[in-house]
Amino acid sequence: MGTKRSRTVSAGPSSASAPNQTLALAAMLFAVSMTFIDQTIVSIAAPDIIEELGLTSSGMQWVINAYLLALAAFFALGGRLADLIGNRRIMLIGTLVFVISSVLCGCVPEGDFAQTWLIIFRATQGLGAALMFPAALAVVVNVFPVEKRGRALALFFGLSGALTAVGPLLGGWLTGWTWRAIFWVNVPVAVIALILTFMAHVPNVRRPEKLDVRGAVLVAVGMGLSVLGLQQAQAWGWSSVLTWVCIIGGLAVLAVFVRYEMTVAQPLIRMQVFRDKAFTVDNLVLFFAMLAFVPLFFFASVYAQVSLSASPNQAALYLLYFFVGFAIASQWGGRILDKRGARPALKIGTALGAVGFALWAGKLTDLSMHNQWPYVALAGAGIGFLLAPASTDAVNRAIGASYGEVTGITQTVRNFAASVGLAVFGTMLTHMTTNRVADTMESRGLSPDEARDTGRSVAEAVSGNADGRAPTGDGPAATRMREAMGDIQMDFAQANQYVFYGMAIVLGIGFLCALRHPGSRVTSDSVTAGPTGAATGAATGAARDSASE
């Protein structure tokens, strides 16, 4: 078996022949496509679900958040289990948990238990995704040697990331038949993923170590509490004690987790990996990029529907401009990583992203998709350039080739950043929308108090608070609001400018971090000694791993 940290391949038919790289990549793409699509598809069907099942608006928000909350809480555990039990096995288990949960979500019975049912199985969907994604990524890393890994993972991240934009389009089309189909559609996708996995002869690579149960509980509680506080900040209010108890309490538990992991012989996460400067910079760049990337789907979609009067499907097409730039640049980023290392791709990506978001922000008040598309695509190209290189470079620097463990770290960083971005930019959008709409309504004759109430109601209705409702009926506020709808569309566009300029700023900070990347390349022939003397700098390819057994 070799040393304690060497990787082993479980015996079985899958290890009898070399894996088919193309089929393995296709299988993993089909598997993770479900997790990306489900991040956005449910929001489109929300009105139909509420109407048929009689859910409360806050309950529907929990149906959406339960998936993301479980995803954030269990990613680190999923990555570690992929190492200990085997990446193929955990990928299959995660896929089965995900698809069974999807079927049960689609079979939710009507009645008082419907809301609880949906929340429970949306959470188990998130658990399945947290098991599946790091294991699937570890499979791709193991199957492709280091020299080819950049392009393979560029395709993996490029296509899987682009599938997030498919969610609203697919959701709108399926909801026309029945909203339950948004969950059932995962069944044929999962079947294809499972068949391709067996056809590809993917080996079950694992590391025979013990699971750090206490660490797993600490990180799940810490991530869960802090993400919950961020998710509920707008509903509870930033001045709410409960909001800050969750956020600060969660961060405190995470601090205890870090200290505890430093004392454990076989921890959930080896904190020594952060002594690798390149690994730390990779994660910092991912953090600042994800502050903009994931929240963008919500803010751009709502902007298109409110300020551009687009339908949900038209809003999804608006996002496709972003993903055209994203998909093209992700392939370039992968080639740059293979030839020159991660540093050039990170610098180019963060710089392009910062410029793209800033130019896009300046065009938001044109209220025209035609005038905005070059800047939307440029912003997408920036994210596309950096996403795969930062993630791949981090995985390549895994301690003892612990790909699942390091993938769990990078994905946890990404999910936490997305939660922070949604909370902070959402609060910014609500505040600026309230102020601008209030000024508009006061100029049209409403009293300051009425104008402020109208502004707050409009802001809550369009910026993500499920309980927010714009004034309706024949009252003075509703009448003035209808008359001022054109001005309100412009007010919302101007409020979004602050959000998009904020996204440009965080990518600018990411550029400053990228400058600190040491620029060292990871190859199959150069292994960098880590802090503990283990191999940390260069994860070898699948052929070399098999030879070391």
CB atoms within 10 A of CB 194: 18
HSE of 348 in the Cβ direction (CA atoms, 13 Å)?
21
133-142 residue pLDDT tens: 989 988 988 8
Percent of the chain with pLDDT over 70: 82
Give the model's pLDDT for residue 526.
Answer: 43
User: Which tokens sit at 276?
Assistant: 């690798």
Please list, residue by residue across 487-523, b when 16 or more beta carbons sit within 10 angstroms of its beta carbon and e when fewer do: bbbbbbbebbbbbbbbbbbbbbbbbebbeebeebbbb
User: Which tokens sit at 501?
Assistant: 């300029």
* pLDDT exceeds cutoff 90 at 256: yes
Beta carbons of 134 and 79 less than 8 angstroms apart: yes
Give the model's pLDDT for residue 536.
Answer: 31
Domain boundaries, given as residue ranges, for the chain: 1-209, 212-267, 276-431+497-541, 433-492
Higher pLDDT, 539 or 58: 58
DSSP secondary structure string for all residues of 198-232: HHTT---EE------HHHHHHHHHHHHHHHHHHHT
258-270 residue pLDDT tens: 999 999 888 888 8
pTM above 0.75, yes or no: yes
* pLDDT exceeds cutoff 70 at 40: no
Query: Can you list the positions of beta strands (E) in 148-288?
Result: 205-206
364-380 residue pLDDT tens: 999 888 889 999 999 99
User: Which tokens sit at 216?
Assistant: 């797993």
Q: What does CATH list as the number for 276-431+497-541?
A: 1.20.1250.20
The class of domain 1-209 in CATH terms is mainly alpha
Q: Mean pLDDT across the stretch 29-46?
A: 79
Q: Mean pLDDT across the stretch 282-293?
A: 94
CATH topology agreement for domains 1-209 and 276-431+497-541: yes
Give the model's pLDDT for residue 343.
Answer: 92
